[in-house]
Every structure is written in C-alpha cells, then in structure tokens.
Structure 1
Amino acid sequence: MAREEVKADLLKFLSLLVTFVFLVSSPSFPRRGRRVTSDPRAGAEPSSPSFLPVRRVAYSVLSPLSRARTRSESEELRVLGAGLLFIGALGTASGLLAFFGARWEKRILLLICACGLLFLLVCCISLLLLLLLSKGQIEEKADAAVGRMILVYIGHGRRDGLLDDLQHQAECCGLTGRSDWLRNAFVQTLNVTDLLPCSCLRTLPRDSETAWCSSDGEVAHEQGCAERLSSWLHENTVTVVGLDVGLMVAQVLQATLALELRRTIGRRDARRAADKREEQERRGADAGSDAD
C-alpha cells in the first residue's frame, strides 16, 4: 500500500512539473501562428530589424489577407499559420486537463488528456511534414511575386514602398541582382541601363523628388533580395521545427505520465477498497467473537 502511495505522489509531482513546462511552451505556437498570418505593420509582434522589411514583403505576397489575385498563393502559409494556432490552443487545453487531472486525481481527465496529446502528436507530425514539403514552394512563390513587383514598380504605392524598404534596409537590389531592373516596364520605356530605384543605392540622395536614381557614379547593392527572403524563410522554418520537435517530446512524456498516473491511481484505489473491505470483515468477525 505504501509503495503505491509513494509512486502515485511521485507521478503527480512529475506530471505537474511537465505540465507546467508544457503550458509555458504551448503559447509559443499561437504567437508564431499570429506572426505568420498577421500583418507585421501592425506592430503586434516584434521582429528583428534586419528581417522586418523581408517579412513585410513576404506578408504582402503570401498572407491570406492579401488581394484576391495572390490569394491562391497563400494556401501553404495559411494552413501553416492555422496549424500553429490550433496546436497551441489544443496543447494548452491538454495541459490544463493534465494539471487538473493530476491535482484532483481524476482518472477520466487523465484519459482525455492522453487521447488529446496523442491526437496533438499526429497534428505536430503532419504540420512538420507540411512545412518541410512546402518550404520550397513558398520560397518559389515569394521570389516570383517579388519578380512581378519589380516588373511593375513605378516608385509610389504601398507595394513599391515595401520593395523600397526591403532593398534599403536589407541592403539588396533586385531579386538576383541589379540587372533585374532592366526588365522593369518603366526602365524599358526610357531605354536606359543606368536607372535604378534610389533604394538600391548604398547612400540615399537627400531631398530626392523621385524614387528613381541614376547609378552612374553611385555604388549600388550587388546582392539580390532572394537571399534575404530565403534567410527569412529559413529562420522561421528552423524556429517552427525546433518548437515542433520539442513539443512532440513533451507530448510523449506527458501522455506517458498521464496514463501511468491513471493506472497507478486505479491500483491504489483498488488496494484501498480491498483493505477497507478486509478491515470491515475483520471488525465484523471481532464483533461476532465478542458476542459469543
């Protein structure tokens, strides 16, 4: 009896400890999901200054809140963001069930928690596969969208401003290099080869009345912005994969503890019931002996 009591108390302590860590880490997924699906210009989620313009461009071409003509391109990112939000919410709910189940020793709550964690594990594996399989597609669509932005760039408008921010703050020019701007419709109408957006230059001219500058005698960024977009995607992929793997390990551990605690509590309660019956039978036998 004492052995079952000690084991149950130890499992309760370990379960509550793992649940605390699980509840602390689970909100990272909703935050990451909001970071993927929300407009970075809203300022709700801080980001590295060097990657903020990259994220803005990626949002503008991949976000589910983009215009209808880019809506089909955002499917992977929309599913990924929704998956992160769902995993975070379900993980928090499972953690609360594990906490109250261990705290109150409710076997039904522990069983529901274990089932929820197993389902959550399947969701995490599916999300991880989706992310790894669609990473290349997202990168290709982002590059293609930036290429189209370069073709129609005229120097004013929201998307042109995003592209200027990307080139200036990320210190890049064009998609693969400055030569991409030779394909711009406005540059082709002028039939010139030394005209670039001022954001491509390493030193922005003061009091410029136009978004275009001559690259003659000015030093422009040589690196293309495709590398910056690739770095942004890689940063987010590594972060999500790390969170996903860590969460899966926590899920397996917590589900194992929940099931073992449920089994231990059942054995302990059965032993208590058996001991109580034996005590009642012994008292009944002692009472009969006294009567005789």
Structure 2
Amino acid sequence: MKLEQKIHVFQFLLTICNCLYLILGASILGCALWILFDTGNLLRDIHSDELETVAGGLFLVGLLVLAVAALGYAAAHCQARLMLLLYMAFLIVLILGQLFISLVLLTSQKKIEGALDEAVDQMIISYAGGRDLTASDRLLDELQRTEKCCGRTGPDDWKTNLYIQNLTNQDVLPCACFNTSCPSGPGGEPPLFGASVGNDSYQEGCKEKITDWLAENALTIVAMDASIIILQVLQIILAVYLYKAVSQQSRVKGSRVLMEPEPDQTDPGPDLREDQGGFYGEENRAYWDPEPPHTESTGYPNAQNPYAEHERHGQGYNQMYY
C-alpha cells in the first residue's frame, strides 16, 4: 500500500473512533449532570465527598473528552504532527483520570451506600405529609410505589416521621406504602396517610432495592469508563501510526528537495550555450572550427599558417638577386 493511501486509511479510522468517542463523552457528561443537578434521583440528596468526587470527575472528563475529540479530528484532517502529539498526551491523561474515578467509585461504594441510607432516613423524618410535598417527598413516594416497599428497613421507620409523631394515632403510613387504594386513617389524617393495621401495606423495606439500584448505576458508570478506555487505547494506536506515516511523508518530501539540483545562476541558458548549438554558437563556429578549409579547391591560404604565401614570394625575390 502506498504511503498516501496509508495516511488516508488512518485518517478515516481515526475519524470514526473520534465520532464514537464524542458519543461516549457526551454520555459521561450527561451522567455527571444527572448526578449533580437532577432532583429526581436519590443521589442528589446524598452528602458524600466520594460521590461528589466521582460526579465532579465525570463532569470534567466529559468536557475534556469533547475537546479532545475535536482536537483529534483536526489533527487527523490537517496531518499536523504537533497536534497528534498533544492528542495522544491528552488521551493518556484522560485514561489515568478515568481509572482514578472508577477506582474511587468501586472502593467507596460502601461509604456511598451508607450516605444514601442516611439520606433516605432523613427524607422519611422530614416527609411533609398532607402539606406541600417537596421534590424529596415525591421522590420517596415514587420509590415506594414503584419498588413496592415501605420505609428504608420496613414500615416501622415511619414512626420517626415528625408529622406522624404529632398525630394522636401514630399507627399510620403514607399512601405510597399500600398496594391498593389508600385507606382512610382515624382521626381525620390527611389523605396522603392511611391506617396501617390490617390494610395490606408493603412490609418489605426499600434498602435492598436502593442498594441494587446504586450497584446498577455504579456498574453502568464503570462499564462506560471501561468502554471509553478501550476506545482511547485504539485511538492512541491509530494516532501513533498516523504520526509515523506523516513523518515518513515529510522525510520523503525533504529528500526529494535535496536531490533536485539548484539552477546555476551563471549559466547563460540553452540559447547561449556553444556546446548545444545555440544562436551565438552558430555565428562563432568559424572562429573555433578545428578543421582547416580545403586549400586545393578554394585556393585559400593555409588556415594553419597564414604567412606561408608571403614566405614563398619572399624566397622568389631573394633568388632573383642571388
């Protein structure tokens, strides 16, 4: 395969990898934004340094991935060796950063799980009841209704709720804890609460569901990091081959320039050269023609000794007097 064809193949493959890299980078950035700013997930209410480190790291990695993908496309298109070197350096830095994030997430999963348990307990304590529900209250109701669970470890966790503690009859649960229509509670409780005794409420706590949900999300993030790391390794390999091909092309062009002779500034040109039969060469040929003229047919004096005729006449003159 010719060198130009190799460069075009590497450019095409690197462009495809950069497109996939861009998609994965956008996914990582979206995952970070979901953890940091979405009020509809439990992670938003967790106060954990480890989780904040993971979320902030994913956000930074997502932004860098978008920038590096653009740099890689420009480097492949322009065949710029300096840009290719920067591209490979940034890829290596991103790989190290992603490995660090994955390591923190895997080693800190128990701490994050404990922080999540504390967040759920606090959500149960501050549940608003019949008053205006907050985003956390709606999230807790959605969790219990969807996963068919009640409380973190069981229905008894709701006895810590501040609103229920102020009721005369504290044997009530939120309507999200029932698998049927919410029964009416005694004492005129708000419609979001119902009597728990003998009214088909969920007896399983939500802790196991929350743990499984957290493990699935952590596994998703680690799988995304692993996929993007594999792609980054492939990008580095293609960038190295493209860099070598571009360097070889530059060396070939440089050797061709050195092999081409520089034009002689003192050379009068082909029209003025005598050895090539130029214009002036034809006119001046009589002055340097080595062949003497034929003396017998023309009667011209010998071109090699123009004084020979005069010498002959001089000898005859001398013979007349001697």
Give secondary structure in 2 for the equivalent of 1:173. coil
Match of residue 198 from structure 1? 175
**TM-aligned CA deviation for residue 243 of structure 1:** 0.8
Distance 1:11 1:233 in 2: 41
Match of residue 68 from structure 1? none
The number of aligned residues is 263
Distance 1:209 1:140, change over 3 A: same
Alignment of 1:171 with 2:171, yes or no, is no
**TM-aligned CA deviation for residue 225 of structure 1:** 1.2
Match of residue 47 from structure 1? none
RMSD: 2.9
Give secondary structure in 2 for the equivalent of 1:40. coil
Counterpart of 1:196, as a letter, is L
Q: Is the 8 A contact 2:50 2:108 kept in 1?
A: yes
Give secondary structure in 1 for the equivalent of 2:203. coil
**TM-aligned CA deviation for residue 195 of structure 1:** 2.5
**TM-aligned CA deviation for residue 282 of structure 1:** 9.3
**TM-aligned CA deviation for residue 191 of structure 1:** 8.3
Aligned partner (choices 220, 226, 236) of residue 217 of structure 2: 236
Q: Is the 8 A contact 2:182 2:193 kept in 1?
A: no
Distance 1:277 1:58 in 2: 65
Match of residue 111 from structure 2? 137
Distance 1:192 1:95, change over 3 A: same
Which structure is richer in relative contact order (CA contacts within 8 A, separation 6 or more)? 1
Counterpart of 1:252, as a letter, is V
Alignment of 1:121 with 2:95, yes or no, is yes
Give secondary structure in 1 for the equivalent of 2:194. strand
Mark the structure with the bigger radius of gyration: 2
Match of residue 66 from structure 2? 92
Alignment of 1:202-241 (within 5 A): 202-205=179-182, 209-241=190-222
Give secondary structure in 1 for the equivalent of 2:48. helix
Q: Please give the TM-score of this superposition, normalised by the length of structure 1.
A: 0.79
Q: Is the 8 A contact 1:58 1:229 kept in 2?
A: no
Distance 1:58 1:7 in 2: 48
Match of residue 235 from structure 2? 254
Match of residue 37 from structure 2? 38
* Unaligned segments of structure 1, at least 5 residues: 42-54, 63-72
Q: Is the 8 A contact 1:37 1:77 kept in 2?
A: no
Counterpart of 2:69, as a letter, is G
Match of residue 10 from structure 1? 9
Distance 1:113 1:148, change over 3 A: same
Give secondary structure in 2 for the equivalent of 1:26. helix
* Larger relative helix fraction: 1
Alignment of 1:53-132 (within 5 A): 55=41, 57-59=42-44, 61-62=45-46, 73-132=47-106
Q: Deviations over 1:220-267 (max 9, x none)?
A: 112211122213212211211111001101111111211221122111
Distance 2:90 2:154 in 1: 49
Distance 1:90 1:152 in 2: 39
Give secondary structure in 2 for the equivalent of 1:92. helix
**TM-aligned CA deviation for residue 6 of structure 1:** 2.9
Match of residue 281 from structure 1? 261
Distance 1:263 1:228, change over 3 A: same
Q: Please give the TM-score of this superposition, normalised by the length of structure 2.
A: 0.72
* Unaligned segments of structure 2, at least 5 residues: 276-322
Counterpart of 2:148, as a letter, is E
